[in-house]
Every structure is written in C-alpha cells, then in structure tokens.
C-alpha cells in the first residue's frame, strides 16, 4: 500500500495515499481498534452542515477570506452527497468529546477544499484547525452536530414512519368500528367492545407519541456552538453563535437557536435524554401493539384467532404449513434494543464532569440507532402486517356469545351478587347465562334478552 506523510503537533504519521484524512484521524484509527460501530453518517453530515455555516459566519466577521469560505462550502457540499463516506472511518469508541471525529471532518474538508483551491488557481490553502475549525472547539461542535442530526432524524425519518403507521391503523379502526367482540383484561374475559374501539387505542398511542416526539424536538433546537472549549466562547466573536444558527437554519430548513447557557450545553445532555424518552415511549406502545396483534392472531385453531394477519413466509423448518407473526417478533426485538439504548443514553448523560460530558459519541450512536430501528420497524410492520389485518368474524362471534362477562349488563337490574351467582353457576354447569338466569328464577328470557345486548354494552347508556 502506498502512503504519504502527514504531520500534527505530535510528529509525522503515515496515511494511506488514497485516503483524504490527516494525521489526527490516522492516530485515532491506530489508537482505538475497538468494535465495529462507526461514527454515524448522520453525525458526519451534520458536521458538514455546521462547518459550512461556521465558515460563512467567520467570513462575515472578517476572520476568513471569501475564497476559503467557498472552499469549505464546496467540500462540505461534496461530503453531503455521500461520495466521500469511506473517508470517515472512525469508531464510536474514541475520545468521549468526539474530538477525533471533529478533526476527521476538518481534515477531509481541508483536503477536498485545497484540491478545489488549486483547481481555481488560488494560492490560498486551508488548515484543518486554523481555518475549518476557526472559532470552534470539539466541545461545542460535536454537541451541535448531535442536535442537528437528532432533529433531522426525528423530523425526516421517525415522524413520517409514525404517521404512516398511524394512518393505516386508522383505516382499520374505522373499518372495524361496528364489529362487536369480547374485551379482555388480565388475560381474562371482560365486557364487550368493538374491534374498532380496541384498535382506536393503538391509534391514540401513535398519535400521542407523535405529539411527544414533536414537543421534545423543541429542546434539541438549542445549539452549543459558540461555547468553544468550556462554555465561555473564547476565540469566537460575541455574535458568532447566533449567526451560525441562522446559517444552519438556511441549510436545513429547520429552526435552531443559540443555547442560552453554553456551560449547560457542553456538559449536559438532558435534551437528548428527554427526546430519547419520547422514543422509548413510542417503543413501549409499539411493544403493546405488536403483542396485541400476535395474541389476537394466535392459532389458527388453538389460539384466539380473532384477527387474520398476512402470510409472509414459512414459519418453521420442521412443521409444514406453520405461519408465525414474524413482523410482531421483529418489531418487539427492535423495542428491546431501544430500551437498552435508553438505559445507555441515560447513564452516559449522567456522566458530565465539571465543564464537559465525555460520553458524547455513545449518546449519538444509540440515539440515531433507536431512531432508525423504530422507523424501519414501523414501516415494515405497517406494510407487511397492519395493512393486511382482517377480522375472523366466526371466531369473534363465538367468543362473544360464550363469554360469561356479558352478565355485567345485569348489575343495574338484579345487583352485583345475583349477577355473580348467575356467572358462577353457568360456569360450573357449562350452561349459558340465559339458561342459568331463568333456572335460578332471577330473570325471564324476555328480560334477559332486553338487558343483555352486546352492542349496547360498547358505550355508556344515557
């Protein structure tokens, strides 16, 4: 392999000739051979947006020439296309401030930008620290990139997936509104409701999760940029932070603001904990929905079997004809991963010491993984399960008519204890509620038919 020599403050480093990074990136590759988890692409792209915006702000303050600003912007735009992804090789398990990934971006931008400057016939040259990182520290750029990446991921990936699944659930909710079925609490028979009412609970879960995620994003829009090393803003113009945020808004089409207290934004990630908490709440709801679906579809002959779900693939390597609720299984595994990620993020966020939290990369990695898994999981579950759900009318009717809990409708007419006596006796004698009520002399057949109307039991009486 061919190498070139790059230099940093510690000396010379050999870098593969075909790679665009510099000495500090190469040192990180050598010093942290840990795991396979790479710095998320979303973080790299957020850095590109940030570097382009900081260059504009520095030019506006007379700290960077127009040509250098153009070079940085050109390089950042190239990175945003994804064509240089191979040049960001660093793992998550590096310095906890994310310094080496910040420098990785600085070095690649400088390399691309300098090639562009040469092609333009300019004798100016970008330096990774002095120009690309001007008015910045890894301590304020990495958390800024985190927040940009989180907001874009939630807005562009997670929320559309939530809305897609929510819309499909609503279609089923409306279609099944008049299908009366038996309810269940504690895994035991309860009073009737409609299948549409049951599914309306799922719809509201998604609706509320959507609202909570949207609300949490407001807190992520405060950016740390301008705090530099410890929050004081050393080496940055007093107006720098606000101006950078304005340029980031222009680049992303999303609103961002300068964090009012940079000492907080460098050392605390309560906003990430809060926003991921909304993702955890979504995950909890998805676990409930997926479990309900696989319970209701269990069978086909020895389970509940009240709904039928799509047949997507053979379910067993030994049992011919077996079909399993695999979309539910995949989605619930996603949920367990998100729950673990939430614990990691919460613990990592609690480790801010003095002026800096040094668990930033693991927070970013887990947050973005949760976001992508939830979005992918919902879209798959929606397309391959939810949209194909159909009621099993015969099974629903059988369970409804056999349930002893229809006796609840008799409480206002004969009292709780007499109603309980009918249910207990009917169960012991394997008889119907009507037969038992008449036999015990508590009701006539006509009275029973008047009082016990499953459809009427699905809503309050006036």
pLDDT one digit per residue (tens) for the chain, 462 residues:
899 999 999 999 999 999 999 999 999 999 999 999 999 999 999 999 999 999 999 999 999 999 999 999 999 999 999 999 999 999 999 999 999 999 999 999 999 999 999 999 999 999 999 999 999 999 999 999 999 999 999 999 999 999 999 999 999 999 999 999 999 999 999 999 999 999 999 999 999 999 999 999 999 999 999 999 999 999 999 999 999 999 999 999 999 999 999 999 999 999 999 999 999 999 999 999 999 999 999 999 999 999 999 999 999 999 999 999 999 999 999 999 999 999 999 999 999 899 999 999 999 999 999 999 999 999 999 999 999 999 999 999 999 999 999 999 999 999 999 999 999 999 999 999 999 999 999 999 999 999 999 999 999 987
Does some domain include residue 84? yes
Judgement on whether residues 203 and 348 belong to the same structural domain of the protein: yes
Q: Quick check: is 254 in a domain?
A: yes
Q: Are residues 84 and 179 in the same domain?
A: no
One DSSP character per residue, 422-451 reads HHHHHHHHT--HHHHHHHTTS--HHHHHHH
Q: What's the CA gap between 382 and 389, in Å, rounded?
A: 10
Of the residues 394, 427, 445, the one at which a domain ends: 394
- Examine the domain organization and report whether 362 and 336 are in the same domain: yes
The whole-number pLDDT of residue 352 equals 82
Residue 380 designated active-site: no
Domain total in the chain? 3
Among residues 134, 167, 197, which one ends one of the domains?
134
Tell me the pairing of strands 307-308 and 3-8.
unpaired
Domain annotation covers residue 462: no
Residue 175 inside a domain? The answer is yes
| CATH number of the domain residue 292 falls in | 1.20.200.10
The answer as to whether 287 is a domain residue is: yes
* Residue 171 is assigned to a structural domain of this protein: yes
User: Using CA atoms, how far apart are residues 321 and 300, in angstroms rounded to an integer?
Assistant: 11
Give tens-digit pLDDT for 252-291: 999 999 999 999 999 999 999 999 999 999 999 999 999 9
Same domain, 130 and 23: yes
Find the domain containing 387 and state its range. 140-394
> What residues does 185 pair with on adjacent strands?
188
210 in any annotated domain: yes
| Domain's final residue, options 113, 134, 155 | 134
Residues 270, 411, single domain; the answer is: no
* φ, ψ for residue 209, nearest 5 deg: -60, -40
Same-domain check for residues 50 and 153? no
- Tell me the β-bridge partners of 258: 223
Give the span between the Cα atoms of 136 and 41, in whole angstroms: 21
- Are 434 and 413 in the same domain? yes
Structure tokens at 122: 């300019």
**pLDDT, position 126:** 98
Q: How high is the pLDDT of residue 99?
A: 98
Q: Name which of 398, 396, 380, 397 is nearest 388 in CA terms.
A: 380
Q: Alpha carbon of 2 to those of 5, 15, 19, 446: distances in Å? A: 10, 9, 10, 94
pLDDT confidence of residue 117 = 98
Say if residue 121 is in the same domain as residue 187.
no
Omega into 288 within 30° of 0, i.e. cis?
no
| Residue 93, domain CATH | 1.10.275.10
Please pick, among 28, 186, 317, 380, the residue that the annotation labels catalytic: 186
Contact between 90 and 29 under an 8 Å Cβ cutoff? The reply is yes
At residue 254, the pLDDT reads 97
In a domain, 157, yes or no: yes
- Domain identity same for 80 and 129: yes
* Phi (first) and psi of residue 225, to 5 degrees: -55, 135
Q: Which residue has the tokens 């700290």?
A: 63
Catalytic residue among 87, 316, 370, 371: 316
Task: Tell me whether residue 316 is one of the annotated catalytic residues.
Answer: yes
Tell me: do 208 and 267 sit in the same domain.
yes
Residues 25 and 93 in one domain: yes
Considering the domain architecture, whether residues 410 and 275 belong to the same structural domain is answered as no
- pLDDT for 339: 98
């Amino acid at each position: 392999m061919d190498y070139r020599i790059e230099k940093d403050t510690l000396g010379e480093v050999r870098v593969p000739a075909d790679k665009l990074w510099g000495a500090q990136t190469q040192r990180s590759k050598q010093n942290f051979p840990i795991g396979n988890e790479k710095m998320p692409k979303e973080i790299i792209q957020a850095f590109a947006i940030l570097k382009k915006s900081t260059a504009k702000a520095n030019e506006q303050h007379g700290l960077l020439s127009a040509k250098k600003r153009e070079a940085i912007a050109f390089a950042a735009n190239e990175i945003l296309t994804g064509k240089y992804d191979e040049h960001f090789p660093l793992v998550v398990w590096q310095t906890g401030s994310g310094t080496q990934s910040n420098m990785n971006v600085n070095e690649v931008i400088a390399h691309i930008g300098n090639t562009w400057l040469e092609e333009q016939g300019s004798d100016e040259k970008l330096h990774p620290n002095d120009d690309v990182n001007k008015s910045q520290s890894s301590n304020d750029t990495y958390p800024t990139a985190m927040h940009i990446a989180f907001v874009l991921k939630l807005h562009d990936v997670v929320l559309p997936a939530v809305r897609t699944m929510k819309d499909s659930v609503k279609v089923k909710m409306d279609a099944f509104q008049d299908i009366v079925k038996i309810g269940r609490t504690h895994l035991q028979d309860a009073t009737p409701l409609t299948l549409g009412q049951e599914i309306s609970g799922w719809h509201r879960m998604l609706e509320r999760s959507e609202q909570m995620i949207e609300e949490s994003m407001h807190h992520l829009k405060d950016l740390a940029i301008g705090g530099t090393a410890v929050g004081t803003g050393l080496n940055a113009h007093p107006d720098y932070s606000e101006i950078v945020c304005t340029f980031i808004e222009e680049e992303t089409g999303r609103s961002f603001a300068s964090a009012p207290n940079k000492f907080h934004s460098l050392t605390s990630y309560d906003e990430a904990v809060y926003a991921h908490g909304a993702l955890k709440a979504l995950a909890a709801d998805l676990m409930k929905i997926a479990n309900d679906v696989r319970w209701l579809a269990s069978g086909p002959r020895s389970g509940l079997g009240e709904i039928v779900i799509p047949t997507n693939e053979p379910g067993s390597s030994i049992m011919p004809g077996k079909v399993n609720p695999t979309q539910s299984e995949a989605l619930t595994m996603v949920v367990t991963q998100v729950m673990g990620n939430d614990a990691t993020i919460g613990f990592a966020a609690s480790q801010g010491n003095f002026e800096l939290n040094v668990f930033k990369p693991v927070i970013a990695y887990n947050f973005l993984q949760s976001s992508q898994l939830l979005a992918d999981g919902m879209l798959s579950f929606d397309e391959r399960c939810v949209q194909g759900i159909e009621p099993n009318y015969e099974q629903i009717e059988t369970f409804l008519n056999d349930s002893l809990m229809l006796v609840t409708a008799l409480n206002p007419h004969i009292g709780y204890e007499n109603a309980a006596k009918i249910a207990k006796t009917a169960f012991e004698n394997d008889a119907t509620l009507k037969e038992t009520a008449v036999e015990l002399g508590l009701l006539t057949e006509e009275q029973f038919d008047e009082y016990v109307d499953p459809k009427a039991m699905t809503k309050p009486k006036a």
